[in-house]
Structure 1
Amino acid sequence: MADAAIRAVVEAIHSSPTQAVVYLAGGASLALGWLMSVPGASNTLLETVVPYSRISMVQLLGRVPSQHCSRGIAEEMALLAYNRALKLSKPGYPVLGVGFTGTLATTHPKRGDHRFFLSTRTSDRLCTSSITLSKNLRSREEEDKVSSCFLIQAIAKACKVPGALDSGLTESDVPDESEIEFTEEQELEQLINGQICFKVYPFSGEAYGSHEDRKIILPGSFNPLHEGHLKLLEVATSICGSGYPCFEISAVNADKPPLSIEQIKDRVKQFETVGETVIISNQPYFYKKAEIFPGSAFVIGADTASRLVNPKYYYGSHERMVEVLGSCKQAGCTFLVGGRNVDGAFKVLEDIDMPEEIRDMFISIPAEMFRMDISSTELRNRQRPLT
């Protein structure tokens, strides 16, 4: 059980909107108990993973590290945790990734230092601490408590909540702390480069008040955004009955150069003007979108639905098409299909030959609820963007 000072800080963490994924290896185990024993833990913790064995760490990192306990590994774990938190969090909530790796006192004397590395990653900040503990000063349990207090304090700082804890460090312990702040441009650059999977601009103002885990996503280039897009998402949300509506732009295209940072910012401004949430991702393919937006409902046109089930786009293989879309189904995703002009004729979902194995993934948006034939391409040609 946490003492009063620790409990007060943890309560403040749970009262903040920040949602976190925590990856721990080699120490700070008490911190998980403190975080989960104080009511409100589900407000903060999305997932905790303890990759304690060598194989577990290799699978987490996706590679064999030269050493398991280092500053670089802690930062890599924090970035992986941050991306995982993005995928699991409620739309628009601030997220936090925490990476901890330590080599503390054990059953036999260690030749090397007793030390731990702790890294926290938020949208605009990477903070890393390296602590070398005095040898033969504390038991394993005492070193674990020091590292746990340090972890709770770091999470509180990342959540921007008050509270100070005495971690128990002495003058003979050696701390080394660093902090890197990211601009919006740097964050978008990280997104384009694949370091982070997406960035949310919650302009709707509903983010912190929403309890909806499921996203209703209308993907597109939105060059420009127009009334048809807004109406389509509104109708799709009413059909779903519940969910958090948002638009999504992929900065990376399948057959074109990636969008520039200025192009992204220009398109984002459109959504700020109309007060709608937009997500910038780096995945142009739906099976990849399903991985980063699990459990979501994607809103698409009949033209896109026709391409999704056309084996031509899967090297001519019907089996491959069913396998790829089946992975979207396993991720809990569905597709809401609105009518669109396809090869000169207006078509709805019922006009498309859907494979039996994946038919239940697709939900029709009736033409009487939504029909708008104008496209962004036509608007660009007319030079009449939404204002």
Structure 2
Amino acid sequence: MNDSITQSLIRQLHRSPWRLAAVVTGGGSEAISQLLSVPGASDTVVEAMVPYSSASLEDFLRYKPAHYCSRATAQAMAMRAFFRARDLESRHSQRELDELSLIGVGCSASLRSLRPKKGQHRVHIALQTAQVSSIASLVLTKDSRDRGREEQVVAAMLLNRIAEVAGIADRIPMELLPGERIDETSVRAWHTWTDLMLGRIDAASSVQAEQNASLESFSGVLFPGAFNPLHEGHQRMAEVAQEITGHPVDFEISVENVDKPPLDFFDIQHRVRQFEPPQRCWLTRAPTFLDKVKIFPEATFVVGADTIVRIAHPRYYHNSLTARDAALDELRQQNCRFLVFPRVVGEEFLALEDLELPPLLRERCESVPASEFRMDISSTELRSGA
């Protein structure tokens, strides 16, 4: 590596307080090599990984992505990398943990190989910090460069993205061809999103003007979900729940997921914008109902029949009936209840009365009859445009 600008940029990065974990799927490995080739890399690089095969990437992400080279996959890689850096620094570093100076880098690329590719040659680079989510994408002109030159473009793009987040002014010149353009966008977190992601608070209001809202303002009725997207079925469920309980319904989105990386700030921003006052949505780090009830004790949860079936299924408790019953008993002790709406379970439209549930759970449930609500809208189908 003879590029003095590249070396200068990397030396500045090594002298900065920023620490990073980088995950690249083959394309982008040249940037890791360049980072490690300049003395001082141990002051910057916490970890560098190359999950080259699909199986390795799935193992790192802990789920199978819909597309291996995509913006969403790069964002998930960056978020997982951020928490890897945080975990490693907290457990093994001699220095005091500075969570605001950690970067997770995810690079998902499809570049030239021995076999011609049917699709585009492209790269998606995501960076995640405690305060910013960013993503940059580039479609390379197909068959206009060899693999080495494509790698050089990706490496420069990746290092430039890190420099921008780190506040370094230098940029490596990009040898882009006519028609090639880098698409960049970022989201800066509200302070409560940062505090929530770092575990400093349990819940945050989705209303920007109510960032300091206390949990004491919770209505008592909670509608948990991903709301990706919020649709008329959700809205109708909330209306019926308010009619039955006599209380307004608060929505809730957990930024943490049992299987996938936490939501980044792009996802959070997109989802909270769907709620308009007087609607309130709480953001939490509570992926399970046991976690939720600790934040919202004595809550009445608005759920579909499909959700109540999952709560009862032993596979969500490591296939242990004992563990499941212990969890259900804890829900009972917290005096929570479930308002159960009819939904499609398997291929049947079922109400609470049609379900086989453990007595510990059934006694906490109240049924909404199909005469009050019959609407089956799939968020997955809405996302896919079906």
Residue 132 of structure 1 deviates from its aligned partner by 0.2
Q: Could you tell me how far apart the structure 2 residues matched to 1:120 and 1:32 are?
A: 15
Residue 259 of structure 1 deviates from its aligned partner by 8.6
Residues 147, 167 of structure 1: 8 Å contact kept:
no
Counterpart AA for 1:98: V
- Write the deviation string for residues 193-234 of structure 1: whole angstroms up to 9, x where unpaired: 35488xxxxxxxxxxxxxxxxxxxxxxxxxxxxxxxxxxxxx
Match of 1:3 in 2: 3
Q: Could you tell me how far apart the structure 2 residues matched to 1:174 and 1:104 are?
A: 16
- Write the deviation string for residues 253-283 of structure 1: whole angstroms up to 9, x where unpaired: 97963399xxxxxxxxxxxxxxxxxxxxxxx
Change (3 A) 1:5 1:256: same
Q: Could you tell me how far apart the structure 1 residues matched to 2:285 and 2:63 are?
A: 27
Match of 1:258 in 2: 295
Secondary structure at the aligned position of 1:17 is classed as: coil
Pick from 146, 153, 166 the counterpart of residue 159 of structure 1. Answer: 166
Task: Please state if 1:23 is matched with 2:23.
Answer: yes
Change (3 A) 1:176 1:251: closer
Counterpart AA for 1:125: V
Secondary structure at the aligned position of 2:179 is classed as: coil
Secondary structure at the aligned position of 1:257 is classed as: helix
Residue 116 of structure 1 deviates from its aligned partner by 0.5
Residue 76 of structure 1 deviates from its aligned partner by 0.4
Match of 1:186 in 2: 193
Secondary structure at the aligned position of 2:294 is classed as: coil
Residues 106, 140 of structure 1: 8 Å contact kept:
yes
Task: Please state if 1:91 is matched with 2:120.
Answer: no
Listed as ranges, the matches of 1:188-337 within 5 Å are 188-190=195-197, 191=199, 192=202, 193-195=254-256, 257-258=294-295
Gapped runs of 5+ residues in structure 1? Answer: 198-249, 261-312, 317-387
Residues 21, 82 of structure 1: 8 Å contact kept:
yes
Q: Could you tell me how far apart the structure 1 residues matched to 2:104 and 2:296 are?
A: 27
Secondary structure at the aligned position of 1:170 is classed as: coil
- Write the deviation string for residues 110-136 of structure 1: whole angstroms up to 9, x where unpaired: 221000000001111111011000112
Task: Please state if 1:173 is matched with 2:180.
Answer: yes
Residues 70, 108 of structure 2: 8 Å contact kept:
yes
Residues 46, 88 of structure 2: 8 Å contact kept:
yes
Change (3 A) 1:27 1:258: same
Match of 1:100 in 2: 107
Q: Could you tell me how far apart the structure 1 residues matched to 2:84 and 2:42 are?
A: 16
State the identity %: 27
Q: Could you tell me how far apart the structure 2 residues matched to 1:178 and 1:138 are?
A: 26
Residue 171 of structure 1 deviates from its aligned partner by 2.7
Match of 1:74 in 2: 74
Q: Could you tell me how far apart the structure 2 residues matched to 1:92 and 1:63 are?
A: 29
Change (3 A) 1:2 1:50: farther
Counterpart AA for 2:15: S
Counterpart AA for 2:120: D
> Which moves more between the two structures, 152-161 or 68-77?
152-161
Counterpart AA for 1:92: D
Q: Could you tell me how far apart the structure 2 residues matched to 1:100 and 1:22 are?
A: 8
Query: How many residues end up aligned between the 2 structures?
Result: 213
Secondary structure at the aligned position of 1:107 is classed as: coil
Match of 1:120 in 2: 127
- Write the deviation string for residues 315-345 of structure 1: whole angstroms up to 9, x where unpaired: 99xxxxxxxxxxxxxxxxxxxxxxxxxxxxx
Residues 113, 135 of structure 1: 8 Å contact kept:
yes
> Which moves more between the two structures, 162-171 or 79-88?
162-171
Residues 20, 82 of structure 1: 8 Å contact kept:
yes
Residue 158 of structure 1 deviates from its aligned partner by 1.4
Residues 156, 172 of structure 2: 8 Å contact kept:
yes
CA RMSD of aligned residues (A): 2.9
Counterpart AA for 1:172: G
Q: Could you tell me how far apart the structure 2 residues matched to 1:150 and 1:101 are?
A: 13
Change (3 A) 1:77 1:146: same
Q: Could you tell me how far apart the structure 1 residues matched to 2:9 and 2:291 are?
A: 46
- Write the deviation string for residues 27-68 of structure 1: whole angstroms up to 9, x where unpaired: 112111110011110111000110000110110111112210
Residues 69, 101 of structure 1: 8 Å contact kept:
yes
Counterpart AA for 1:183: W
Match of 1:44 in 2: 44
Match of 2:33 in 1: 33
Q: Could you tell me how far apart the structure 2 residues matched to 1:125 and 1:81 are?
A: 14
Q: Could you tell me how far apart the structure 2 residues matched to 1:117 and 1:109 are?
A: 20
